[in-house]
Amino acid sequence: MKNLSMMEAIREAMTKKMREDPTVFVMGEDVGAFGGCFGVTAGMFDEFGAERVRDTPISEGVIIGCAVGAAATGTRPIAELMFIDFATVGADQLVNQAAKMRYMVGGKIKLPMVVRLPLGAGTRAAAQHSQSLEAWLAHIPGLKVVYPSSPNDAYGLMLKAIEDDNPVIFLEHKLLYGIKGDVDENSKPIEFGKADVKREGKDLTVVATGKMVYEALNAAEELAKEGIEVEVIDPRTLFPFDKETLFNSVEKTNKLIIVTEENKRGSFAGEISAIVAEECFDNLDAPIIRVCSVNSPVPFSPVLEDYYVPNAGDIVKAAKKMF
Amino acid sequence: MELNNTKIIEMYKTMKRIREFETNASKLFAEGQIHGFVHLYIGEEAVATGVCANLREDDYITSTHRGHGHIIAKGGDVKYMMAELYGRQTGYCKGKGGSMHIADATKGIIGANGIVGAGQNIATGAGLSAKLRGTDQVCACFFGDGSTNQGTFHESLNLASIWRLPVVFVCENNLYGISMHQSRHQAIQDIADRAVAYNIPGVVVDGNDVFAVYEAANEAIERARNGQGPSLIECKTYRHHGHFEGDPAKYKPAEEVAEWMSKDPLPRLVNYMLDNNILSKEELNEIDRQINDEIKEAIKFAEESPWPPIESVVEDIYTDIVEEVEK
Amino acid sequence: MKTIGIIANPASGKDIRRLVSHATVVDNNEKINIVKRIILASQGTGVENIYIMPDTFLIGHKAIEDLKLSKELKIPVDILSMKIQGNLNDTIRAAELLEELEVGVIVVLGGDGTLRAVAKGNSNIPVIGISTGTNNVYPRMIEGTVAGMAASAIATNMCDKYNSCIRDKRIEIYKGSKLLDIALVDCVISKQTYVGSRAIWNEEDIVKVIVSNAHPAAIGFSTIVGVRKIISDKDDFGACVNLNVGDKYYLAPIAAGTMKTIKLDEPTIHKVDERFDLEFDFNGIMALDGEREIPFKIGESYGFKITRNGPIRVNIRKTIESAQEIGFFACK
């Protein structure tokens, strides 16, 4: 057991797999000696060298496209884009190539590749470096979407992502890189589609992803003081999505709040809400509430950005409407 | 590097097979037997043939929306191709891809592609993979003149150059990006000029002369195999049909069409072979008859093949997850 | 007539030798720039009218348009009225037209292949070759401005033409009594049978080389003779040599950056105007100035003759020096 930051946990998992399997390699902008935009790959260049920790030009399209070609021909690339916002530049390669190739060719090709996408607001980086675009990705059949919130989850999910024979989108919230937690280095990969109950409670279910898991836990702490016991669920993977854990919780609490950092309109929070409304309606005692960011681009000014992102206070306020 | 007669006849068979496949596809489309977008390779046969004649079975190709020729030249089976055009279960893609997405991983065909220019990126990946695995495999990447205005072209040539990847970029300059003449879609005439910007060799060859293509590809592939990095071969050629079947191609001037029809790669090769006694007229007719039969059989195979079962709509998305078939 | 002609071959500088001999691509937009520099240098030194060959890339049109936009064009520049075929025939036809127009000089952008085409269309007007090709025995690597000044000196009669120009030799190839084709520098007999990518670079298939001039420094197949015997443009003879015969080996720079060891017989000298005939006992092809052109069959016979019917070549340095002496650069 080691106490690692989320960033270290991701690095440890990649390093472990690269030691085990010579076909695993990392590519992306400044991932080499520079260590990656946020330092996630720091030190890996020293161990594996320039061949397997490859600096790429600033060419998001070919970073993903090259990973597709490499994955189709016997290697296991891990591609890093600096920000999820830049996935739009390589969107064709992600949406039309990576996601669809296997299907279009009738299952004759597999694409074991991971695309790491740092995301999220809170770094005062304004609208093109702060988005949460997970709904776009989860919308596309052919991609798996992973979004860990703790170092241990990140470690186990990264192990699984590299082992997976399909394109896996690995979402990393930038504000969580420094968060510390115990990681069991000998633990098994975490299966996709298994949510984690981060706090148990009987009165209200809060589903949250990424950094919002912590806001939900803080809100739960606050609400507990008023006698409301909140159950906080982190789905950990958006696709495949663990319906069972969620339905069991809603069956118990009869109330659901969904918290994500996305713009509310067209969000994955909306998808979760729809799933519960369609398949678990009879267990609901109150309308579902989504707590998301406002429908604006991510603003720059700290005053505006702090308002833009949901926080524990917003969750508490929403919860109180239900009681 | 004189080609022996067996190899020349082999190349003729490939070109003839492509021509025959495409001519039938055109007819079947007109009759309503096959559907969707069908982009035919008629007129450009010498390019795929001349390049693939230099490739090993374990070498890779990436292809385009106009991909039938590449797939046949790399050894694809016309039976499974035709069945795919028909959307049948026995097709290369089990009826899920159609004309634009045929692949055969066992032959190194990592896919035709419906997005113009997308194959260029994928080809660099195949080249990188070969390099990382320490093999001497090469990837030939086919694309048209239109795609050289996509970012992918520039990103890929740049990446392949700086990493010295074993990729041969083969530009089929057929003069048109869909309906737009090359002189209107780019400020250069020779796409090979762009090689200079990426510090790789760029050459122009007569894409309607299979020997010219063969020679250039031979050099470029050897170069790539020896670790000397990528090259760009521009093959000047012409598509006889419209962009897709159903496009009457009214944007092509009659004079231009006539000029290029006179440069048709197939009669040129036939004349050469007869002229140099590589085979007799009778032997030629026999080859043509066999290929004709082969395509007829492929059509019969396709027609007799079952439609894909509905449950298969949600299969082959992932290796391990089957989505709900219920709507 | 103070006029000059310009022929710029849009296809030169892109053949397979970029793959086999480290040659570089010459892009067509640079050819436009060279044409602009020729125009500016010649109009600035007294040329009154310029004709340019039309081509598929519109090199001439684009040069004129650019100079009009920058307001630098002072004299009429016309594109020759002719139908474009998009191949070497355009160059031949343009050379014919320029000869009919009696221009003072023709400036050619291209390689040996382009100059050969010019020589097929014109034999009376002096030619300046600017190398934008690959194997360039004939045209020179020269700045467009310098070529423009020399062209102007010739066209305006402001130089010693007699000493500045030389009538070159050429190799004439006959089938029976019919003149079939010409080469300016070399005719290579190869065992290859198809035209393919046109350029020739593989010495293994070569049987014979016939040359009008030969020098070890003139990179290309004529060096195969040149490494044994130097034949200058003043010599009234050419030569023919057999490869893979005898027991002597020589190093020859048969392409840019390509030194080959070649087994070589003693070259046979052929005097100007003395025809010799060869009968071939194999199927093959003749490459003229580096490009595969004439396929032949076993048993066929061809005549060869070195003559003084080649183009009139301008010695640029001598031209400009003699122009300077008689006040070409002096302002009035």
Q: Report if residue A257 sits inside a domain.
A: yes
Same domain, residue pair A239 and A142: no
- A108-117, A303-312, C130-139: the lowest-pLDDT one: C130-139
Same domain, residue pair A21 and A155: yes
The torsion angles phi and psi of B61, rounded to 5 degrees, stand at -135, 150
Same domain, residue pair A155 and A209: no
**Per-residue pLDDT at C54 exceeds 70:** yes
Residue B310: Cβ-neighbour burial (10 angstroms; 0-12, 13-18, 19+): exposed
* Domain stop point among A151, A183, A215: A183
CATH number of the structural domain spanning residue C109 = 3.40.50.10330
| Candidates A52, A56, A68; nearest CB to B122 | A68
**Which chains have at least 3 CB atom pairs separated by less than 8 Å from chain A?**
B
- Domain of residue A282: give its range: 196-321
Same domain, residue pair C118 and C218: no
Please tell me whether residue B26 adopts helix, strand or coil conformation: helix
Q: Which CATH number fits domain B5-314: 3.40.50.970, 3.50.50.60, 1.10.3720.10, 3.40.50.2000?
A: 3.40.50.970
β-strands B176-177, B180-181 pairing: antiparallel
Residue A244: Cβ-neighbour burial (10 angstroms; 0-12, 13-18, 19+): exposed
**Which chains have at least 3 CB atom pairs separated by less than 8 Å from chain B?**
A, C
Which residues lie below 8 Å from residue A225, measured CB to CB, with a gap of 6+? none
Nearest CA in chain C to B184: C57
C282: chain B residues, CB-CB within 8 Å = none
Same domain, residue pair A130 and A236: no
CATH number of the structural domain spanning residue A277 = 3.40.50.920
Known catalytic membership, residue A139? no
Q: Report if residue A189 sits inside a domain.
A: no
Same domain, residue pair C174 and C272: yes
Mean per-residue pLDDT, C35-56: 96
- Domain of residue C117: give its range: 3-168+311-325
Same domain, residue pair C163 and C174: no
CATH number of the structural domain spanning residue C252 = 2.60.200.30
**Percent share of chain A, pLDDT over 70:** 100
Same domain, residue pair A116 and A220: no
Mean of per-residue pLDDT scores for chain C: 93
Number of domains into which chain C is organized: 2
B120: chain A residues, CB-CB within 8 Å = 65
B163-218 pLDDT tens trace: 999 999 999 999 999 999 999 999 899 999 999 999 999 999 999 999 999 999 99
The pTM of this model reads 0.92
Number of domains into which chain A is organized: 2
What is the distance between the alpha carbons of residues C170 and C166, in angstroms, rounded to a whole number? 13
pLDDT bin (cut points 50, 70, 90) of residue C136 is confident
* pLDDT, position C135: 62
Cα A124 → chain centroid? 20
Q: Which residue out of B155, B156, B158, B164 would a mutagenesis test of the A interface target, given it has the greatest number of A Cβ atoms within 10 Å?
A: B155
Listed by start position, the domains of chain B span 5-314
Closest of C202, C189, C185, C205 to residue C279, by C-alpha? C189
Q: Report if residue C330 sits inside a domain.
A: no
B192: chain C residues, CB-CB within 8 Å = 14, 18, 25
The answer to whether A181 and A149 have CB atoms below 8 angstroms apart is: no
Q: Report if residue A209 sits inside a domain.
A: yes
Q: Report if residue C140 sits inside a domain.
A: yes
Same domain, residue pair C9 and C142: yes
More confident residue, C27 or A146: A146
Q: Report if residue A84 sits inside a domain.
A: yes
Same domain, residue pair A178 and A56: yes
pLDDT bin (cut points 50, 70, 90) of residue C137 is confident
Tell if the CB–CB gap between B212 and C198 is shorter than 8 Å.
yes
Same domain, residue pair A162 and A238: no
Nearest CA in chain B to A91: B118
Point out the residues of chain B with pLDDT beneath 50.
none
Same domain, residue pair C131 and C222: no
Same domain, residue pair A221 and A173: no
* pLDDT, position C202: 80
B16-30 pLDDT tens trace: 999 999 999 999 999
Same domain, residue pair C132 and C205: no
Please give, rounded to a whole number of angstroms, the shortest distance from the CA of C218 to a CA of chain B.
Answer: 23
Same domain, residue pair A158 and A276: no
Cα first-last separation, chain A: 41
Tell if the CB–CB gap between A103 and B317 is shorter than 8 Å.
yes
Same domain, residue pair A174 and A237: no
